[in-house]
Structure 1
Amino acid sequence: MANLGYMQLVRGCNQYCRFCSNPASGFMLDLPTATRQIDDFVRRGYFGVILTGGEPSLSPIVPEVASYAAERGLHVRMITNGSQLAKPGLAASYRDAGLRCFHVSIHSAEPELEDFLTGVKGSFALAMAALEQLGAVGATVNINTVINKYNADRLDETVMTLCERFEFLRHFVWNNLDPSMGRAETNRDTAPR
């Protein structure tokens, strides 16, 4: 199994997922600290680094971090809600900087349900546009889904719908909801049976 280091670039996010267990704050990683962490991952013999958040694409240092990590020999990934990657050119920019794999968080292939779960109207459309942008630049794309009461009985439908539309998808990750913290603690309706 590959050793992967996690690097939280920001704690803020532009979505308000009903089940998020990662409380937002004003934290934003600076480039000198990021390069020190990357150097530490390399020293430890890590295979790669996963850029996380909040929403990591809100960080202005993504290209520099990805480039530095790739130059040091690390495989660079990002966990993202895709909202920023819907913008034309950003996926190509990140790929050119060294980002090779994107884990896009999509919790339902039903637009209304996705928007409800993320707390942002239009988030489904942005995620679909992000997948189109990522597919166009040949990026490796995985789907992350948090299992919750609203999607637990429809996970197979989400996989089938997304794979029919985006043939390059090969891997889905299902994450358990943590009901003990963050918004999941407040929105108890999200806990699966």
Structure 2
Amino acid sequence: MHDLIVSPFLDGFLAVRPGSPACVRLPTDLYEEVRAGADNTVPAWLVQTAADAWSLDLDGKAARSALLVREPTELAFARASWEINLYCNFGCKHCYLGERPLAGLSWDDKVKLIDIFRDSGVLWLQITGGEPTVDPDFEGAYRYAYRQGMMLTVSTNASRLWKPDLLRLFRDCPPYRVVVSMYGATEESFDELTQRKGAWKNFRKLMAAARNAALPLRVSIVVTDDNAHEVDAMKAVVQGWGLDHHVYTNMQPTFSGEGDPLLVQSTEFLRKRPVFEGCNAGVTFFHADPHAKVSICKIGRDDQIDLMTEGIDGLRRLGEISDRLMLRTGGCTGCSLSGSCRVCRPLAKVYQEAKAPLGMYCQHGDTKEMVHP
């Protein structure tokens, strides 16, 4: 298995190591030298770079075995997220997915999709769900994507992280990051929010196993009415584990237009979003659902592209779709506060379809008006 990945990335080139957050930018001539030298030993300059950046000894190693060199691509996307399956073994009150059937691509089509990720330039791939590790093809898909030279992030509720097969997979094919959601600091709150009895006890056990396996963990602390009184306690637990964390407070409606997730928000901890200044959704990254329907991101799911039908050429349309979806339309045209809006147009549309109060997403939120689609 490769020690380093040498790859095009946006308008340049990177050397990265699976399981490590460190990366090294490479000039074009050095990338081309590595690309042309598959039959040689690792060049001296890269041996030194690997030693400095990762304490990795590549001296005398054959480039063909130590390095995975990715070819340039015309599309040059950098990142993608993939809902491998919507099914989840939790029933969290704040979930924005709505219906969560156990359904997705066949194994052959999963391989085809991962090949499209690779050939479109995707270097960082986030595998999510639902709960991704319950998908019957998760281990095979993860291993296959790893072998194609992708830096993998898994977003999980961690309910299966204690399983020996999964820990062995992550040992053999180190993830870039494992992002774990935390739903409380006590059995009462954790089990209530996830609607699964025993979820808290299992969480404690599996986090011990994951930490013992030295996984690159990051914790997403989810704050709702059920656990808002435990925010400091949740932070203390995570800090005691020596892990990084992010506090997630603002929920969003489901994609089927239901506002139920908004009802469990803790108003005390709602975060004021910064002014939206644009993003590269559909330009340098994209999102794929369980059936390989691709959108600019997980929020802007209109005008999806069926990659199983169109193949990689379908991705060429994402930039134009992104430009169209980001326009201030559908109730926002001509708004005098659009220059200081705090959500993108696709997210505003999700709130509007759920008939959410303006104050949850709009600068005109001092009114009591409900916005209708």
* Normalised TM-score (structure 2): 0.46
What is the DSSP-based 3-state SS (H/G/I as helix, E as strand, rest coil) of the residue aligned with 2:183? coil
Give the C-alpha shift of residue 58 in structure 1.
0.7
For 1:107, the aligned partner's letter is: Y
Give the C-alpha shift of residue 17 in structure 1.
0.3
- Equivalent residue, structure 1, for 2:213: 137
Give the C-alpha shift of residue 13 in structure 1.
1.0
Give the C-alpha shift of residue 106 in structure 1.
0.8
Query: Does the alignment pair 1:22 with 2:71?
Result: no
Unaligned stretches of 5+ residues in structure 1: none
For 1:161, the aligned partner's letter is: V
Q: Distance in 1 between matches of 2:251 and 2:87?
A: 19
- Equivalent residue, structure 2, for 1:171: 245
- Equivalent residue, structure 1, for 2:184: 108
- Equivalent residue, structure 2, for 1:185: 259
For 1:81, the aligned partner's letter is: N
Whichever structure has more helix as a proportion of its residues is 1
What is the DSSP-based 3-state SS (H/G/I as helix, E as strand, rest coil) of the residue aligned with 1:12? coil
What is the DSSP-based 3-state SS (H/G/I as helix, E as strand, rest coil) of the residue aligned with 2:97? coil
- Equivalent residue, structure 2, for 1:47: 123
| Bigger Rg, which one | 2
- Equivalent residue, structure 1, for 2:82: 7
Unaligned stretches of 5+ residues in structure 2: 1-8, 11-77, 268-373
CA contact (8 A) 1:102 1:141 kept: yes
- Equivalent residue, structure 2, for 1:156: 232
Q: Distance in 1 between matches of 2:262 and 2:154?
A: 28
Q: Distance in 2 between matches of 1:19 and 1:115?
A: 13
For 1:71, the aligned partner's letter is: R
Query: Does the alignment pair 1:123 with 2:123?
Result: no
Q: Which has the higher contact order (CA 8 A, sep 6+)?
A: 1
Q: Distance in 1 between matches of 2:179 and 2:247?
A: 9
CA contact (8 A) 2:161 2:206 kept: yes
* Normalised TM-score (structure 1): 0.85
Q: Distance in 1 between matches of 2:152 and 2:253?
A: 30
For 1:176, the aligned partner's letter is: N
Post-superposition CA distance 1:38-71 (Å, at most 9, x none): 2222223222211111111111212211111111
Paired residues, number: 191
What is the DSSP-based 3-state SS (H/G/I as helix, E as strand, rest coil) of the residue aligned with 2:259? helix
Q: Distance in 2 between matches of 1:74 and 1:11?
A: 22
For 2:86, the aligned partner's letter is: R
Q: Distance in 2 between matches of 1:75 and 1:159?
A: 28
Query: Does the alignment pair 1:63 with 2:171?
Result: no
Q: Distance in 2 between matches of 1:179 and 1:84?
A: 27
Q: Distance in 1 between matches of 2:144 and 2:163?
A: 23
CA contact (8 A) 1:146 1:176 kept: no
CA contact (8 A) 2:185 2:233 kept: yes
- Equivalent residue, structure 1, for 2:167: 91
Q: Distance in 1 between matches of 2:156 and 2:108?
A: 23
Q: Distance in 2 between matches of 1:85 and 1:31?
A: 23
For 1:192, the aligned partner's letter is: S
